[in-house]
Amino acid sequence: MRTQVAIVGAGPAGLLLSHLLWLDGIDSVILENRSRDYVERRVRAGVCEDPTVKLLRDVGLAERLDREGLPHHGIVLRFDGEDHRIALTDLTGRTITVYGQQEIVKDLIAARLKAGAQIHFEVSDVEVHDVTGDRPRVTYKDSAGAVQEIQADVIAGCDGFHGVSRPSIPDSELTVYDHVYPFAWLGVLVKAPPANDELIYANHERGFALHSMRTPEVTRLYLQVDPSDSLDQWSDARIWDELHARFAIDGDFSLHEGPILERLLSPMRSFVVEPMRYGRLFLAGDSAHIVPPTGAKGMNLAVHDVLVLSRAFKELLQSGRTDLAESYSDTCLRRVWRAEHFSYFMTSMLHRAHDADPFQHRLQLSQLRYTASSTAAATSLAENYVGLPFP
Ligand code: FAD
Ligand code: DHB
């Protein structure tokens, strides 16, 4: 089989890249090792930055997002038993939209299939070959177990943190920046209305907690837990006790309990490889970088990467010019490092390390109070949170 762009991974990065290329008249094939049902149900991100939403609108993918997504004009920092609102829209003129990543994935898959795209689900043994030459290839086994080969002009490695693209690049070609945090998140999806219209980021002595939502009937909640914890250590009763304790304030507030529909444990890590390219293999999204979830940046970075990559591929494949392909990695890494810093900042300000001394806690409180009371500090948080404009 021959195509212009072989894409490994049908997450937000791979699917959106395929759509953007299609709009430019460029042909692609997507290989995904999970089933369509699995990728459409995988609950992960919830916060879409303003530039992400604008891009999805510009490329005809926001019809349902505009109908069902929840625009937010502020977030709440909860500490010292009180709420402090960061007025995102007043401070920046922009909003964020709460719309589940799996809904974006469903919309993308539907749009791609409607346009006649080739997405091969449930493939296995994907391998990339000859990426330093002019004729790169991808081999894989299709869902029936038959070996297949795709010849392409370029390959996009959009296969997430645990994919095969990044490990196929020789170690000597990449510089790795890796930071593991002493925290993990336990996330639950609950069939009950959110207890507040806006997200609440709570710094509590028992650890961080986050109140978010998916719809007016479904709440999304997260707890900071120990990275060595397993899900079976967290009964429903323990989860609710901990959530109620961490969200308690000096005033009226109570979470709405309901059946837990989904639960996940997610370790927290910052990881970046440089450069995001090796020959004709280009990495995009989580395959090249991950951030701790506190800043809500991972999916948004993946969207930016593939926007830049689609422009580079268009120039390369339609006019043979290599300028944008050559600057791809540097252009993306500038935004990646801003997001790495912001996510680190949010994580450090809001989580309690087991071994944190009173000095560190005083610093956290000072940063929280400053952010809540200074327009300059709040604006800095807000402009990063809503997302700096795409180039
Ligand atoms: P992925 O979504 O990981 O997609 C990669 C795809 O490649 C997958 O479908 C996978 O099955 C496939 N694949 C893997 N290996 C292979 C292989 N060998 N062959 C073929 N296919 C393969 N981000 C935000 O922007 N906002 C948020 O609010 C937010 N909240 C989050 C909360 C949590 C708890 C977590 C865990 C993450 C959150 N994120 C958030 C991060 C976000 O989910 C990721 O950054 C995003 O999924 C990255 O998209 P991607 O397409 O690069 O990778
Ligand atoms: C959600 C996830 C995040 O990482 C975050 O910072 C805010 C909200 C969510 O899943 O809704």
CATH number, residue 293: 3.50.50.60
Are residue 185 and residue 172 in the same domain, yes or no? no
Instruction: Give me the domain span that covers residue 369.
Output: 181-268+353-386
Are residue 261 and residue 369 in the same domain, yes or no? yes
The verdict on whether 54 is a catalytic residue reads no
Give the pLDDT mean for 231-239. 97
Are residue 35 and residue 148 in the same domain, yes or no? yes
Is the residue at 86 inside a domain? Answer: no
CB of 163 shorter than 6 A to ligand 1: yes
Q: Does residue 206 register a pLDDT over 90?
A: yes
Local confidence band at 85 (pLDDT 50, 70, 90 cut-offs)? very high
Local confidence band at 48 (pLDDT 50, 70, 90 cut-offs)? very high
Local confidence band at 324 (pLDDT 50, 70, 90 cut-offs)? very high
CB of 157 shorter than 6 A to ligand 1: no
312 CA distance to ligand 2 centroid (A)? 30
| Distance in angstroms (rounded) separating the CA atoms of residues 359 and 44 | 34
In this prediction, residue 149 carries a pLDDT of: 98
Q: Does residue 251 register a pLDDT over 90?
A: no
Instruction: Say if CB 215 and CB 231 are below 8 A apart.
Output: no
210 CA distance to ligand 2 centroid (A)? 8
| Distance in angstroms (rounded) separating the CA atoms of residues 300 and 48 | 7
In this prediction, residue 354 carries a pLDDT of: 81
Q: Does residue 99 register a pLDDT over 90?
A: yes
Is the residue at 89 inside a domain? Answer: no
CB of 299 shorter than 6 A to ligand 1: yes
Is the residue at 340 inside a domain? Answer: yes
CB of 46 shorter than 6 A to ligand 2: yes
Residue 238 neighbours by CB distance under 10 Å = 12
| Distance in angstroms (rounded) separating the CA atoms of residues 142 and 163 | 17
Whether ipTM exceeds 0.90: yes
What are 117-135's pLDDT values in tens digits?
Answer: 999 999 999 999 999 999 9
Mutate to test the pocket of ligand 2, among 72, 185, 212 (most ligand atoms within 8 A of CB): 212
In this prediction, residue 120 carries a pLDDT of: 98
157 CA distance to ligand 2 centroid (A)? 25
Instruction: Say if CB 182 and CB 28 are below 8 A apart.
Output: no
The catalytic residue among 19, 51, 72, 204 is 72
What are 148-188's pLDDT values in tens digits?
Answer: 999 999 999 999 999 999 999 999 999 999 999 999 999 99
What are 334-348's pLDDT values in tens digits?
Answer: 999 999 999 999 999
| Distance in angstroms (rounded) separating the CA atoms of residues 113 and 31 | 14
* Ligand 2, atom 5, residue with closest C-alpha: 296
The verdict on whether 385 is a catalytic residue reads yes
Are residue 26 and residue 101 in the same domain, yes or no? yes
Residue 211 neighbours by CB distance under 10 Å = 23
Give the pLDDT mean for 190-207. 97
How many percent of the chain have pLDDT more than 90?
Answer: 97
In this prediction, residue 355 carries a pLDDT of: 83
Total domain count, the chain: 2
How many percent of the chain have pLDDT more than 70?
Answer: 100
Q: Does residue 357 register a pLDDT over 90?
A: no
The verdict on whether 278 is a catalytic residue reads no
Is the residue at 82 inside a domain? Answer: no
